[in-house]
């Protein structure tokens, strides 16, 4: 399993019930912790990891040569954006290099990392062949990850999984692998369909979040409650799916995947205007929120002590990738506010430690963890602005 983050370690933990798993990661510190049975991922208990280690079913390594005896190699590495917000396949390329340089016999290579259609066929396969010293006909397949950190009702066993191989034999081998620990597998006609489906799943979410974020601004301008309006609309039993407004989108998927879809669309001459605009709307929410906070405080935040409550990208996880809190903090500081942050789950971020939940002039709630008492949030400052809809008695969207 190449990559031992949220996806790779999760799959490793489920696969270890049926296979001997080698978890490869370049982060030596993470590897050392994993081999001690210490999990760094919410939802994967250290006790489960320890169980598989003691049974000889799991080991972590930072040495590529340790994967040479594997019969199945799963790529589960990040696919972020570059600094100019373009698809970045450098982690996949590094994984391909590890595979190409260390495997000397045909194996099943499965990509779980999210990327644009054609990545398996036109990037991964040629890259592995390029890095290999001899011509080896591996079996190539795709099965896009479906991991929702912090969620307990859906896991790798009961979440439907898509898959497709470059050849019928690769598809069959992929089915045999995942069927050991996943109850429902759906084969699609090509890897490109599976890759596109994954991108569309998260683009669907981003677009609808953007829609409800824009609607929240409309509702405020009209003087009506966005939450009551959404609840009212949700009484319709068909043709409606409820989304709620927020400070923006975060994490390793929703802010990133639509850009991969837009990039490949534009490369092929197809429009992606709607997708691009949805991303802009979500990014603009942070500035809108700061304008609202400033307007409620005399139009001037200069010198105000502002506490941002919750910097994780979603409740009950420590993941801060692409968190909306970062833009909120930037806009607050650009207005002269003296900003600190509090997050009981994250603890340390960007070289700063979580501040106490009190003593501020203004509190802005970006993420509400279940462990945080809303009464303490309300008592943390004379003015509290809640972007989550979960703190009753606070000002909000």
| 194, part of any domain | no
CA–CA distance, 386 with 396 (Å, rounded to integer): 5
Asked whether the predicted pLDDT for residue 282 surpasses 90, the reply is yes
Taking only the tens place, the pLDDT of each residue in 111-120 is 999 999 999 9
Q: Is the same domain home to 382 and 236?
A: yes
| 193, part of any domain | no
CA–CA distance, 394 with 388 (Å, rounded to integer): 10
Q: Is the same domain home to 67 and 121?
A: yes
Please name which of 316, 29, 33 lies closest in space to residue 151, comparing C-alpha atoms: 316
Give catalytic residue positions. 253
Q: Say whether 23 sits in a helix, a strand or coil.
A: strand
Q: Is the same domain home to 213 and 276?
A: yes
Taking only the tens place, the pLDDT of each residue in 345-355 is 998 999 999 99
CA–CA distance, 322 with 250 (Å, rounded to integer): 5
Q: Is the same domain home to 220 and 113?
A: no
Phi, psi for residue 160 in degrees, rounded to 5: -60, 140
pLDDT at 149: 82
**Average pLDDT of 222-236?**
98
Average pLDDT of the chain, as a whole number: 96
Residue written as tokens 């790779």? 8
Please name which of 382, 225, 223, 377 lies closest in space to residue 298, comparing C-alpha atoms: 382
pLDDT at 195: 99
Q: Is the same domain home to 157 and 262?
A: no
pLDDT above 90 as % of the chain = 96
Number of domains in the chain: 2
| 1, part of any domain | no
pLDDT at 244: 98
Tell me the pLDDT band of 126, cut-offs 50, 70 and 90.
very high
Q: Say whether 170 sits in a helix, a strand or coil.
A: helix
More confident residue, 2 or 41: 2
Taking only the tens place, the pLDDT of each residue in 329-373 is 999 999 999 999 999 999 899 999 999 999 999 999 999 999 999
Q: Is the same domain home to 244 and 365?
A: yes
| 386, part of any domain | yes
pLDDT at 270: 98
> What are the angstrom distances between the C-alpha of 249 and each of 9, 34, 213, 386?
24, 30, 10, 16
Alpha helices, H only, 43-89: 46-54
Tell me the pLDDT band of 151, cut-offs 50, 70 and 90.
confident
pLDDT at 263: 96
| 263, part of any domain | yes
| 268, part of any domain | yes
Does residue 17 contact residue 181 with C-beta atoms inside 8 Å? yes
Q: Is the same domain home to 35 and 181?
A: yes
Question: Could you tell me the pTM of the whole model?
Answer: 0.93
pLDDT at 36: 97
Q: Is the same domain home to 158 and 235?
A: no
Domain boundary among 139, 159, 188: 188
CA–CA distance, 300 with 107 (Å, rounded to integer): 62
- CATH number (domain holding residue 30): 3.40.50.720
Q: Say whether 263 sits in a helix, a strand or coil.
A: helix
pLDDT at 152: 83
Q: Which residues pair with 2 in a beta bridge?
A: 24, 75
Domain around 134 = 6-188
Does residue 368 contact residue 314 with C-beta atoms inside 8 Å? no
């Amino acid at each position: 399993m190449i990559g031992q983050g949220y996806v790779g370690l999760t799959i490793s933990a489920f696969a270890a019930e049926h296979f001997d798993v080698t978890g490869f990661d370049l982060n030596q510190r993470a590897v050392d912790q994993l081999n001690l049975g210490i999990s760094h991922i919410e939802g994967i208990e250290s006790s489960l990891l320890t169980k598989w280690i003691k049974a000889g079913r799991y080991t972590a390594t930072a040495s590529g040569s340790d994967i040479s005896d594997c019969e199945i190699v799963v790529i589960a590495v990040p696919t972020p954006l570059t600094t100019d917000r373009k698809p970045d396949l450098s982690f996949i390329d590094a994984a391909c290099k590890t595979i190409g340089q260390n495997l000397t016999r045909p194996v099943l290579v499965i990509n779980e990392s999210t990327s644009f259609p054609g990545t398996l066929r036109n990037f991964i396969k040629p890259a592995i062949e390029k890095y290999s010293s001899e011509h080896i006909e591996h079996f190539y397949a795709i099965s896009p990850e479906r991991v929702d950190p912090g969620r307990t009702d859906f896991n790798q066993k009961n979440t439907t999984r898509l898959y497709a191989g470059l050849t019928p034999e690769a598809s069959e081998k992929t089915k045999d692998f995942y069927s050991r620990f996943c109850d429902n597998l759906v084969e699609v006609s090509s890897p490109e369909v599976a890759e596109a489906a994954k991108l569309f799943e998260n683009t669907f979410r981003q677009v609808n979040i953007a829609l409800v974020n824009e609607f929240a601004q409309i509702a405020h301008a009209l003087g009506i409650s966005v939450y009551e309006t959404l609840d009212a609309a949700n009484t319709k039993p068909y043709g409606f799916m409820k989304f709620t407004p927020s400070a923006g989108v975060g994490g390793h998927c929703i802010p990133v995947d639509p850009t991969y879809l837009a990039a490949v669309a534009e490369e092929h001459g197809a429009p992606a205007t709607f997708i691009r605009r949805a991303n802009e709307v979500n990014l603009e929410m942070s500035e809108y929120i700061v304008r609202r906070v400033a307007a409620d405080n005399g139009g001037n935040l200069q010198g105000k002590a502002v506490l941002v409550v919750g910097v994780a990208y979603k409740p009950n996880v420590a993941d801060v990738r692409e968190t909306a809190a970062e833009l909120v903090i930037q806009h607050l500081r650009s207005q002269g506010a003296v900003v600190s942050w509090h997050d009981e789950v994250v603890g340390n971020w960007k070289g700063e430690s979580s501040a106490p939940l009190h003593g501020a002039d203004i509190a802005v709630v970006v993420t509400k963890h279940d462990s945080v008492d809303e009464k303490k949030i309300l008592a943390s400052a004379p003015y509290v602005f809640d972007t989550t809809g979960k703190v009753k008695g606070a000002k909000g969207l």
